[in-house]
Amino acid sequence: MEFSTLFFKNNQILPAGENKYYITDKTPFYAIEDIRFFTNTIPQLILISEKEFQEKFEEYLSNLSNQFLKEESEESFEPEDILQTSDTPVVQLINSIFLKATRVNASDIHFEPFSDKVIVRYRMDGVLHQINEIPLSIYPEVVSRIKVLSKLNVAEKRIPQDGRIRIKIGQKEIDMRVSTLPTVFGERVVIRLLDKSTKILTLEELGLYPEDKEIFENIINKPYGLVLVTGPTGSGKSTTLYASLLKLKTPRKNIITVEDPVEYQIDGISQVQVNPKIGLTFSAGLRSILRQDPDIIMVGEIRDLETAEMAVHASMTGHLVLSTLHTNDAPSSITRLADMGIEAFLIASSLEGVIAQRLVRRVCEFCKEEIIPDIKEKEFLNRYIEIKDDFKLYKGKGCEHCLYTGYKGRIAIYEIMKIDEDFRSIISKSTDSKVIRDYALKKGMKTLIQDGLKKAIDGITTIEEVIQAAKH
Instruction: Spell out the per-residue pLDDT of the chain, length 472, in tens.
Output: 456 667 788 888 888 888 888 999 888 888 888 788 777 788 889 999 988 888 888 777 666 555 544 444 444 333 233 233 456 788 888 888 888 888 888 999 999 999 999 999 999 888 899 988 999 999 999 999 999 888 899 988 999 999 988 887 766 778 889 999 999 999 999 999 987 667 788 888 999 999 999 999 999 999 999 999 999 988 999 999 999 999 999 999 999 999 988 888 888 999 998 887 777 888 888 989 999 999 999 999 999 999 999 999 999 999 999 999 999 999 999 999 999 999 999 999 999 999 999 999 999 999 999 998 888 888 888 888 888 777 889 999 998 888 888 999 999 999 999 999 999 999 999 989 999 999 999 999 999 999 999 999 999 999 999 988 877 6
What is residue 62's predicted lDDT score, i.e. its pLDDT? Answer: 61
Structural contact between residues 325 and 230, judged by C-beta atoms closer than 8 angstroms:
yes
For 419, the 3-state DSSP assignment is coil
What is residue 197's predicted lDDT score, i.e. its pLDDT? Answer: 67
Residues 6 or more apart whose CB falls under 8 angstroms from that of 102 comprise 169, 172, 174, 193, 195
Does the pTM surpass 0.85? The reply is no
Residues 6 or more apart whose CB falls under 8 angstroms from that of 4 comprise 87
Please name which of 388, 407, 389 lies closest in space to residue 397, comparing C-alpha atoms.
Answer: 407
- As a whole number of angstroms, the distance between CA 285 and CA 273 comes to 9
- As a whole number of angstroms, the distance between CA 330 and CA 312 comes to 17
Structural contact between residues 93 and 141, judged by C-beta atoms closer than 8 angstroms:
no
Rg of the chain over Cα atoms, rounded to whole angstroms, equals 26
What is residue 93's predicted lDDT score, i.e. its pLDDT? Answer: 87
**Residues pairing with 297 in the sheet:** 256, 321
For 188, the 3-state DSSP assignment is strand
Q: In what order do the strands lie in the sheet with 351-363?
A: 270-273, 255-259, 296-299, 320-325, 225-230, 351-363, 407-418
- As a whole number of angstroms, the distance between CA 147 and CA 90 comes to 13
Structural contact between residues 249 and 262, judged by C-beta atoms closer than 8 angstroms:
no
Question: Exposure pattern of 129-150 as b/e (b: 16+ CB <10 Å)?
Answer: eebbebbeebbbbbbbbbbebb
- As a whole number of angstroms, the distance between CA 226 and CA 155 comes to 46
What is residue 265's predicted lDDT score, i.e. its pLDDT? Answer: 83
Identity of the amino acid at 411: I
Structural contact between residues 301 and 260, judged by C-beta atoms closer than 8 angstroms:
yes
**Residues pairing with 168 in the sheet:** 173
Q: What is the dihedral of CA 126, 132, 138, 140, to 10 degrees?
A: 10
Question: What does the DSSP 8-state code read for residue 266?
Answer: -
Longest Cα–Cα distance in the chain? 88
Question: What does the DSSP 8-state code read for residue 137?
Answer: T
Interior angle at CA 191, CA 189 and CA 194, nearest 5: 175
Question: What does the DSSP 8-state code read for residue 280?
Answer: B
- As a whole number of angstroms, the distance between CA 440 and CA 417 comes to 7
- As a whole number of angstroms, the distance between CA 247 and CA 204 comes to 10
Identity of the amino acid at 180: T
Residue 50's Cβ-count burial label (10 Å; 0-12, 13-18, 19+) is exposed
Structural contact between residues 352 and 258, judged by C-beta atoms closer than 8 angstroms:
no
What is residue 380's predicted lDDT score, i.e. its pLDDT? Answer: 84
What is residue 67's predicted lDDT score, i.e. its pLDDT? Answer: 54
- As a whole number of angstroms, the distance between CA 384 and CA 412 comes to 18
* Crossing angle of the two packed helices 89-103 and 139-149, in degrees rounded to 10: 70
What is residue 213's predicted lDDT score, i.e. its pLDDT? Answer: 95
Identity of the amino acid at 92: Q
Interior angle at CA 154, CA 150 and CA 156, nearest 5: 120
